[in-house]
Structure 1
Amino acid sequence: MVTRRFAALLAVGIPLPALLPAPWLSVAGVLVLAVLVAAADFALAGALARISLHREGDRTVWLGGTATVSLAVLNTGSRLLRLQLRDSWVPSAGASPARHDLRLAPAERSVVATTLTPVRHGDRAAVRVTLRSYGPLGVAYRQRRRGWNDRITPAWSLRVLPRFPSRRILPEKLARMRVIDGSVVARGRGHGTEFDVLREYVIGDDVRSIDWRASARHNDVVVRTWRPERDRRLVCVLDTGRTSAVRLGDAPRLDAAIDAALLLAVLAARADDRVDLLALDSTVRTRVEGGGHRTKVGRLIEAMAALEASPAETDFSLLARDLLRRDRKRSLVVIFTALEPAPMIEGLLPLLPALAARHKVVVAGVRDPAVSRLSQVTVATAADVHAAAAAQRVLTERDRIRDVLARFGATVVDTGPESFASHVADVYLLLKATGRL
């Protein structure tokens, strides 16, 4: 194959014979000479079959961050290689630079780095490494077929973890949880608490917490202390159906739900509770069980990273079968879904009484801030009035759905994406403090 230099060579050489007596023969001679030069340059280009490729670098990155993946190129042949290398990734990986120019002597190894700035969470794979070997004049080059390039390309996939903006409020929530633990111990026994330790009586302790038998054995007044029960079960249910694809600002609704679920999972793990994950739409997309302790939160993050919104309608009967058929222990079930009338009335509401009878249910939905802004438009044009009326109707229907869910025994979280994760965590902490998990 020839390059632009070959075309430039012809562009310069062909006009010159026009000044000679036999221009056509001279033009033919220039064409033959250019073809011979290109053929010689092609013959002197190094063979691509003697190239070895190897990758190394980052395997995971948080969405919004950058990762670096290196590609090592080894010339195992006996000729000098002048290479142009194109390292192609899926577009959402944000790979740069796309091309690298290399000059490799025999047995020489060179490493090129590709910086990845993903724009979506999930697995972002390397597609293909395409190689071109140029001759010394740069007039012609060798390039193999796509199938050969696919075979020599080292497989690599970057797992992009979902965005976790609520991580900034995690210290505040952990501090509140420690305060709750201390206040429950000082207050004494209550529903949802278990025995902790014996300690000496101090002024202000509830006399009902005095352990008289232990006091007799220790020849001192000792009291029992209590703490919130550990090893409770939390089930995070992510709705990945069509309503989760609705964009709220710059991100889809599913991303806000994943952010809140991550904050909730980290809090529950720090409280020594067990955290399970269930993601579903028309089928169960992922299920992670036993992810309760801190070392297992990574499994939840990895599972959430691969989740994407589906155009299918969510089948909540899958959730009912999963929780009612297999689980007997009472759990806190947090369902991240859209508080829209049609999916609620046809999907979740018929199953909610049975779920609420067995488990503590929280239904968490993200409110679209654009709808809230439209409902408060004050400009008195006809279009603005109609838009405000439509937005107000949507909010009224959400309020009705929220009231119905509450009457069926569910706790409802309905707020904007900027405070959604915080409100969900506050509900968990309140239930933890009052012993209602």
Structure 2
Amino acid sequence: MIRLFYIDLFLGKRFFVAWGISAFLFLLAYFFPWFGIIPQLFALTSLFILVADIVLLYATTKVGVKTSRNAPTRLSNSDVNDIWITSENHYPFVVRIGIIDEIPYQFQKRDIWFEQTIGAKERRSFSYPLRPVKRGLYAFGKLRTFVQSPIGFIQRRFNEDVAIDIPVYPSFLQMRKYEVLAISNRLTDYGLKKIRRLGHSMEFEQIKTYVPGDDYRTLNWKASARQGSLMVNSYIDERSQHIYCIIDKSRAMKMPFHGLSLLDYAINASLVLSNIALKKEDKTGLITFSEQIGTVLSADRRPTQLNYIMEALYKEKTRYLESNLEALYVTVRRTLKQRSLVILFTNFESISALNRQLPYLKKIAKYHLLVVIFFENIELKSLSQKKAQDVEGIYLKTIAEKFIYEKKLIVRELARHGIQSVLTSPELLTINTINKYLEIKARQGI
């Protein structure tokens, strides 16, 4: 018990100030004897206050201050997640507390310190944000609370063993945001294009009475003759179309932007797109690959499909070899039994890198509607926009512009072979991917 008393007791700033003044008074008394017993009286008073502070913090209550952490069961990758801390003061007086939360090592933060003043028998809560940039298991440690009485000579530490492991999943907060926008038809608020229909679906819904504004090409003359008034056929969007997100896990997707790798950007976008496609009553599937095939999840629209996709994406990691599109083509031919929308998330840094993989992309595009989504290098883009100050700056700017131009050549080369593509910055990946999906749906491209 005595050992625990010493372990959890820490001296405060006021203690050192008081005993520093006491030492200074003793020093003055050595040169000025007329100080008398003033230094002794000040030292005894400081000692008495120290004992009183210890009694206040250790003898007035057994519980002291109780602190707890309220964290979600899972964290959303690349999003700001709020962690709540609640402190309850059981002392009969006002206390000042400092809290250290042992957050996971992945955040590389060692200065998590929160100060609060809590009244007698009062309870107070506050939150702080955490933004993970990697998927995986995050281990939260203990909560350490340092309590000061109004005297402030010492601090008493309370250790709460609230260690917990919390998984970080792909961005489900972003998924919910776009889900709400899709349900309320407010996707255009975030820059998603509204595509004009070039025709109508061939999936029949009903025959209804003609009203001004209906497409006269849908007039049903036989029904009109029977009813004695104009009747039109009503069509709905085609459903149960197969949408596959194919994610490249090779070293080309390891490049980080704003702390998040290209693979994680692709995973977040795939989750959002799969959710919206399921809301549109399409079937969604998933394939991951690098030098070998990873996850293969057949397209379906059952209620549990999104959970299967999220669990599969949670476990994916970047590999360090070149991607094998030949193996991907074999898997696509074996798995995809009907014409599907295939959205391939990958990255090409040069036209030569594209030419190595182009034969396999053309084979996939022969049987399916292939959309290749790859990334702009935003660091090179910002470098090309800077004004060159010297010869070295001109050289760097020229090289950056050359690589940017090669990205545009890749888009043209893909279009020349009938393959649709999207060149996007990592931050706009989700919006541009949904844009492309809605555009293809509106134009009935599948």
Please indicate the TM-score interval, normalised by the length of the shorter structure.
Answer: 0.5 to 0.7
Is it true that 1:102 corresponds to 2:114 in the alignment?
no
For residue 435 of structure 1, give the secondary structure of its aligned residue in structure 2: coil
Structure 1 residues 416 and 62: CA distance shift in structure 2, 3 A: closer
Per mean C-alpha deviation after superposition, the further-off stretch among 329-338 and 409-418 is 409-418
Q: Could you tell me how far apart the structure 1 residues matched to 2:319 and 2:38 are?
A: 66
* Aligned residue in 1 for 2:145: 131
Per mean C-alpha deviation after superposition, the further-off stretch among 301-310 and 319-328 is 301-310
Shift of 1:141: 3.2
Q: Deviations for 1:33-83, whole angstroms, at most 9, x for unmatched residues?
A: 8667645643542379735444447777896767462414364xx987946
* Aligned residue in 2 for 1:386: 395
For residue 176 of structure 1, give the secondary structure of its aligned residue in structure 2: coil
Q: Could you tell me how far apart the structure 2 residues matched to 1:243 and 1:205 are?
A: 52
**Residue type at the aligned position of 2:17:** A
Question: Which of the numbers 39, 57, 75 marks the counterpart of 1:45?
Answer: 57
Structure 1 residues 345 and 281: CA distance shift in structure 2, 3 A: same
Structure 1 residues 2 and 436: CA distance shift in structure 2, 3 A: same
Shift of 1:411: 1.6
* 8 Å CA contact 1:85, 1:129 repeated in 2: no
Q: Could you tell me how far apart the structure 1 residues matched to 2:166 and 2:124 are?
A: 16
For residue 355 of structure 1, give the secondary structure of its aligned residue in structure 2: helix
* 8 Å CA contact 2:242, 2:283 repeated in 1: yes
* 8 Å CA contact 2:66, 2:89 repeated in 1: yes
Q: Could you tell me how far apart the structure 2 residues matched to 1:328 and 1:118 are?
A: 40
**Residue type at the aligned position of 2:115:** R
* 8 Å CA contact 1:2, 1:140 repeated in 2: yes
Question: Which of the numbers 176, 181, 193 marks the counterpart of 2:194?
Answer: 176
Structure 1 residues 221 and 304: CA distance shift in structure 2, 3 A: same
**Residue type at the aligned position of 1:176:** K
For residue 338 of structure 1, give the secondary structure of its aligned residue in structure 2: coil
* Aligned residue in 1 for 2:84: 69
* Aligned residue in 2 for 1:412: 421
* Aligned residue in 1 for 2:21: 12
Q: Could you tell me how far apart the structure 2 residues matched to 1:56 and 1:274 are?
A: 37
* 8 Å CA contact 1:46, 1:135 repeated in 2: no
Q: Could you tell me how far apart the structure 2 residues matched to 1:2 and 1:283 are?
A: 60
Is it true that 1:355 corresponds to 2:364 in the alignment?
yes
Shift of 1:364: 1.0
* Aligned residue in 2 for 1:116: 129
Q: Could you tell me how far apart the structure 2 residues matched to 1:367 and 1:420 are?
A: 10
Within a 5 Å distance, the mapping from 1:38-437 to structure 2 comes to 38=50, 41-46=53-58, 50=63, 52-56=66-70, 67=82, 69-73=84-88, 75=90, 82=95, 84-88=97-101, 89=103, 91=107, 98-102=114-118, 104=120, 108=121, 110-116=123-129, 118=131, 120=133, 126-134=140-148, 137-143=151-157, 149=159, 151-152=161-162, 170-171=187-188, 176=194, 180=197, 184-185=199-200, 193-199=202-208, 205-206=216-217, 210=220, 224-239=233-248, 241-244=250-253, 246=255, 253=262, 257=266, 261=270, 264-265=273-274, 268-277=277-286, 310=318, 312-313=320-321, 315-316=323-324, 323-341=332-350, 344=354, 348-349=357-358, 351-369=360-378, 371-372=380-381, 382-406=391-415, 410-416=419-425, 423-437=432-446
Shift of 1:194: 2.4
Per mean C-alpha deviation after superposition, the further-off stretch among 250-259 and 128-137 is 250-259
Query: Between Structure 1 and Structure 2, how many residues are aligned?
Result: 413
Shift of 1:7: 1.8
Shift of 1:332: 1.0
Structure 1 residues 175 and 300: CA distance shift in structure 2, 3 A: farther
* 8 Å CA contact 1:55, 1:70 repeated in 2: yes
Structure 1 residues 17 and 74: CA distance shift in structure 2, 3 A: closer
Q: Could you tell me how far apart the structure 2 residues matched to 1:230 and 1:162 are?
A: 26
Shift of 1:397: 3.6
Q: Could you tell me how far apart the structure 2 residues matched to 1:162 and 1:313 are?
A: 31
- Percentage of identical aligned residues: 19
Structure 1 residues 101 and 199: CA distance shift in structure 2, 3 A: closer
**Residue type at the aligned position of 1:140:** I
Q: Could you tell me how far apart the structure 1 residues matched to 2:231 and 2:409 are?
A: 52
Structure 1 residues 263 and 57: CA distance shift in structure 2, 3 A: closer
* 8 Å CA contact 1:93, 1:117 repeated in 2: no
Is it true that 1:3 corresponds to 2:19 in the alignment?
no
Q: Deviations for 1:365-394, whole angstroms, at most 9, x for unmatched residues?
A: 222355456668897964354334423432
For residue 229 of structure 1, give the secondary structure of its aligned residue in structure 2: coil
CA RMSD of aligned residues (A): 5.4
Q: Deviations for 1:219-265, whole angstroms, at most 9, x for unmatched residues?
A: 87866554442111222234455444545689765576567556645
Structure 1 residues 290 and 26: CA distance shift in structure 2, 3 A: farther
* 8 Å CA contact 2:132, 2:168 repeated in 1: no
Shift of 1:412: 1.6
Structure 1 residues 139 and 257: CA distance shift in structure 2, 3 A: same
Q: Could you tell me how far apart the structure 2 residues matched to 1:154 and 1:335 are?
A: 37
* Aligned residue in 1 for 2:5: none
* 8 Å CA contact 2:345, 2:372 repeated in 1: yes
* 8 Å CA contact 1:268, 1:274 repeated in 2: yes
Structure 1 residues 81 and 249: CA distance shift in structure 2, 3 A: closer
